């Protein structure tokens, strides 16, 4: 009975930790804005970079990663592999469907990375290499995330992980990819927005705003004349993305 209560307590702790939203907390505390009302409206790491800027975006990423890493690391030391897997799933579920955001949340990529770091650190290194390779080639954060996530079960099998971890690699990957359903539709339609790296932000463009190039329709050249779609700033609610 004590082991069951321990497992339930760890799962609940992981879900509550995952439900905390660093992007919303930091946005309100340091910028005076609610991230859910800006950019894509998603309280995840990608929108934090877009709206809050690079340094706060990095802080949000680190906090989201720790939400997955710390509960799973604790579970690994005090419980068995199946409890660890349940804790990992609870952390991602809390991030994606936060108790404190009335069921809203991010897409589980940063928190999932923290989970994998605690369970299979070498696998995470390879997944990050895939992520950055795809992102460098395409500048689609969503495509890079989906590709790396889809590769996760393959690497888990290749590294002969325990059965519980194999089950998590499949269930966790399905959860994260399902959270990207809108991004997948936009990618197929050629409407997904590309990320603009900090060094490419044009002088005079206010930090934290979506760069005009992010909203450039497919096929429209850069540097279009003012008044055209590529130069029109995004209104809140437009260009919903990750």
- What tens digit of pLDDT does each residue of 120-149 get? 999 999 999 999 999 999 999 999 999 999
* Residue 86 predicted with pLDDT over 80: yes
Asked if residue 228 belongs to a domain, the reply is: no
Mean pLDDT of 200-215: 42
Predicted confidence at residue 104, as pLDDT, reads 87
User: Which residues lie below 8 Å from residue 58, measured CB to CB, with a gap of 6+?
Assistant: none
Q: How far apart are CA 4 and CA 16, in angstroms?
A: 18
pLDDT at res. 198: 57
Longest CA span, the chain: 69
Q: Which residues have C-beta within 8 Å of that of residue 92, sequence separation ≥ 6? A: 18, 68, 108, 111, 112, 115, 172, 175, 176
Confidence (pLDDT) at 241: 43
Question: Domain of 167?
Answer: 2-188
Report yes or no on 89 lying in a domain.
Answer: yes
- Residue 197 has a pLDDT of 62
pLDDT at 209 over 80: no
> Does 105 score more than 70 pLDDT?
yes
**Residue 69 belongs to some domain of the structure:** yes
Q: Is position 82 within any domain?
A: yes
**Domain presence at residue 213:** no
Average pLDDT, the chain: 83
pLDDT at residue 207 is higher than 50: no
Q: Is the pLDDT of residue 172 over 60?
A: yes
Domain membership flag for residue 227: no
Q: Is residue 226 part of a domain?
A: no
Average pLDDT for residues 69-94, to the nearest whole number? Answer: 96
Structural domain count of the chain: 1
pLDDT at 82 exceeding the cut of 50: yes
Residue 239 lies in a domain: no
Q: Find out whether 67 and 17 touch, Cβ atoms under 8 Å.
A: yes
């Amino acid at each position: 009975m004590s082991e069951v209560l321990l497992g339930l307590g760890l799962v609940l702790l992981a879900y509550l930790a995952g439900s905390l939203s660093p992007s919303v907390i930091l946005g309100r505390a340091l910028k005076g804005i609610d991230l859910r009302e800006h950019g894509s409206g998603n309280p995840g790491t990608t929108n934090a970079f877009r709206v809050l800027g690079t340094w706060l975006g990095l802080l949000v990423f680190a906090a989201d990663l720790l939400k997955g890493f710390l509960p799973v690391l604790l579970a690994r030391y005090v419980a068995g592999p199946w409890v660890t897997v349940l804790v990992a799933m609870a952390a991602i579920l809390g991030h994606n469907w936060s108790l404190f955001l009335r069921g809203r949340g991010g897409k589980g990529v940063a928190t999932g990375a923290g989970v994998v770091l605690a369970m299979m650190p070498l696998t995470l290194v390879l997944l990050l290499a895939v992520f950055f390779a795809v992102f460098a080639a395409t500048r689609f954060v969503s495509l890079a995330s989906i590709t790396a996530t889809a590769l996760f079960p393959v690497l888990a099998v290749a590294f002969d992980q325990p059965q519980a971890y194999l089950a998590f690699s499949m269930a966790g990957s399905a959860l994260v990819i399902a959270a990207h359903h809108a991004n997948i539709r936009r990618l197929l339609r050629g409407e997904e927005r590309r990320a603009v790296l900090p060094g490419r932000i044009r002088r005079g463009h206010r930090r934290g705003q979506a760069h005009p190039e992010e909203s450039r329709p497919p096929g429209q050249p850069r540097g279009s004349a003012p008044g055209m779609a590529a130069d029109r700033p995004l209104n809140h609610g437009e260009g919903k993305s990750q």
